[in-house]
Amino acid sequence: MATVKRSGYVPKAKKTLHNPSAEELQQLTSEMPNARRTEFGNYNVETRAVARSASNTYIATDHPERYSSQCIPLDEARRLVDMQDDYIRDQEMLIIDGAIGNHGALVTRARLIIEKSNANIAGMQRMLYYPVESSAPEPEVTIIYTPNLPATGYANERAIIVDLDAGITRVMNSDYFGESKKGGLRMWNQKVYDLGGLPLHAGCKVVPTARGERVMLIVGLSGTGKTTTTFTVQNGSLPVQDDFAALLPDGRIVATEDGCFAKTYGLDPRDEPAIHAAVIRPTSYLENVSQQKVDGPVDFHDDSYTQNGRAVFGLSDLGAFRDANEIGALDALLILNRNENIVPAVARLTGAQAAAYFMLGETQGTSAGGKDEMGKSLRIPGTNPFFPPLHELQGNRFMELLDRLTFEVFLLNTGRVGGPAEDQRSKNVAIPHTSAVVKGIAEGNIAWVRDPDFGYDVAEGVPGFDDDELLRPRLLYQRQGRAGEYEQIVRRFKKERADELRKYPGLNPEILAAVG
């Protein structure tokens, strides 16, 4: 049962501006007191909330046993809905219409309703939505967003209420753009699953090779290298999608967005020239990037306010990209694991083992997840924190698709081997290392050998990769006289992984057995 009001509902406001142009939204953004024009001519907005607020996000339901996320009773959700609607009556609001997804039944009409005083969020969302005709039907997904309304009684006076039955997400007292973006994608996740596919927190790229184009999905938590890996070029590769995609039962991939929401911390034109060029266009939007004065330079390497600086730009701003409707079926799925001990730079996974590592979703949290996640070792199934149903459904669906299709699965460490950065004995898996791995996977010229501890295949050699100790971490630990430490981590990982998968009673038992 929904909270009565359904997607397509528009709260009564003091004044409403429907679908303003890109130029109008930039002008409105320029009037915001927390917006600064940059040396590039675009606008950089400093927000109060600097990351998504997972601990403040609730599914509205009286059946919490059906969901993986924290829930809130319908009566309380209705109270918050009425409070927000009352607030909107005195506000000037903007409406942005568009679509999430660009193929068949997964083209999902979406709408953002946002306070005019936060026009940058409207401008950013407009760039990510696919355009729709004005005569298109009412939206399936609506985000009603009041960044300046406190949710009294909730932590930080902030609440994000997700009504899946109604197709509406209500956001209160967060001015971080990610709540708009993820609000729509969370709903889309549910739709993809209901239609027999698997929604993936993933980038997508196409790599040309002598054996033909290879289509890749890069699965990873925000900030772990997903965008970088997607946009780094191998053999003239082209990006297809930055952040979310669907894998269908026939192997086809469906894109979600017409633009990118990219992290900017550490952005370097030498490593990521396409992203850098798009970010500095006058039409892009920046959020929480370090900047000292109006019309002045920005510093992508200053994290004094946050490491979670962001930029939104259109796919067309990249100069070249591929439409998901023009590519073939999936060839390889890469699971990113930002680790700092014994996970190799690349491992090849097969069968239930691949589903197990997908389900484990191991990585190190980044600033994208806020203070609760940054720097901590995490296990998030599918590295997808926006999948509303029970998590075991992700793992089981992944196993079904793996049995049906012919794609390969690889685990990539985008962090370190041998310890954290402050440990001088450790080594970094740098962007060129990961790029060489992606190229080797695409071309099929990596030499593999079975790892005796975990049963997956590790690389004996990767063309263009200059460090065997990153490929086989045991070598590093042995050379440094740390073999006992290595064995201790092996035992710990095996136990922790098995214990983690046992948390999901509906999980296919083959998946659990794969990490034993």
List, as one string, the DSSP characters of 275-334: HHHHHTSTT-EEES-EESSTT--EETT--SS-S--EEEEEGGGGS----GGGS----EEE
The domain defined by 259-318 folds into Phosphoenolpyruvate Carboxykinase; domain 2 (2.170.8)
Q: How far is CA 150 from CA 48, 145, 159, 173, in A?
A: 13, 12, 8, 5
Question: Tens digits of per-residue pLDDT, 18-27?
Answer: 999 999 999 9
Q: Can you tell me the distance from the alpha carbon of 101 to that of 105, in angstroms, rounded to the nearest whole number?
A: 9
pTM listed for this prediction? 0.92
More confident residue, 271 or 313: 313
Summarize the confidence of residues 212-216 as an average pLDDT.
Answer: 98
Give percent of the chain above pLDDT 70: 97
Q: Give the residue range(s) of CATH 3.90.228.20 domains in the chain.
A: 199-255+324-513
Summarize the confidence of residues 422-443 as an average pLDDT.
Answer: 97
The second-level CATH assignment, the architecture, of 199-255+324-513 is: Alpha-Beta Complex (3.90)
Question: Tens digits of per-residue pLDDT, 97-127?
Answer: 999 999 999 999 999 999 999 999 999 999 9
Question: Tens digits of per-residue pLDDT, 345-383?
Answer: 999 999 999 999 999 999 864 444 445 545 567 789 999
At 375 the pLDDT is 53
48: left (phi over 0), alpha (psi -120 to 50) or beta: alpha
Q: Which of 383, 390, 388 is nearest to 414 (CA)?
A: 383
Summarize the confidence of residues 46-67 as an average pLDDT.
Answer: 96
At 2 the pLDDT is 63
Q: Which of 113, 81, 94 is nearest to 20 (CA)?
A: 94
Summarize the confidence of residues 331-353 as an average pLDDT.
Answer: 96
At 516 the pLDDT is 67
Q: pLDDT category, 41, cuts 50, 70, 90?
A: very high
At 4 the pLDDT is 63
Query: Counting beta carbons within 10 angstroms of the beta carbon of residue 481, is it exposed (0 to 12), middle (13 to 18) or buried (19 or more)?
Result: exposed
Note the CATH number of domain 15-42+53-195.
3.40.449.10
At 3 the pLDDT is 67
Report the b/e string of 362-392 with b at 16+ CB within 10 A.
bbbbbbbbbeebbeeebebbbbbbbbbbbbb
Q: Give the residue range(s) of CATH 2.170.8.10 domains in the chain.
A: 259-318
Torsions phi, psi for 147 (to 5 deg): -65, -20
Handedness of CA 356, 215, 197, 219 (dihedral sign): positive
Alpha helices, DSSP H only, in 315-430? Answer: 351-360, 392-404
Summarize the confidence of residues 389-404 as an average pLDDT.
Answer: 96
Q: Six-digit token pair at 340? A: 């700092």
Q: Six-digit token pair at 77? A: 């959700």
Summarize the confidence of residues 68-77 as an average pLDDT.
Answer: 95
At 368 the pLDDT is 47
Give percent of the chain above pLDDT 90: 91
At 222 the pLDDT is 81
Q: Scan for tokens 């219409």, then name that residue.
A: 97
SS (H, E, C) 38-75: CCCCCEEECCCCCCCCHHHEEEECCCHHHECCCEECHH
At 373 the pLDDT is 46
Q: With 60 as the cut, is the pLDDT of residue 287 above it? A: yes
**Rounded (10°) angle between helices 351-360 and 392-404:** 150
Q: Can you tell me the distance from the alpha carbon of 362 to that of 382, in angstroms, rounded to the nearest whole number?
A: 9
Report the b/e string of 394-430 with b at 16+ CB within 10 A.
bbbbbbebbeebebbbbbbbbbbbbbeeeeeebbebe
Q: Work out the mean pLDDT of the chain and round it to a whole number.
A: 94
Summarize the confidence of residues 418-429 as an average pLDDT.
Answer: 96
Q: Give the residue range(s) of CATH 3.40.449.10 domains in the chain.
A: 15-42+53-195
Summarize the confidence of residues 385-410 as an average pLDDT.
Answer: 96
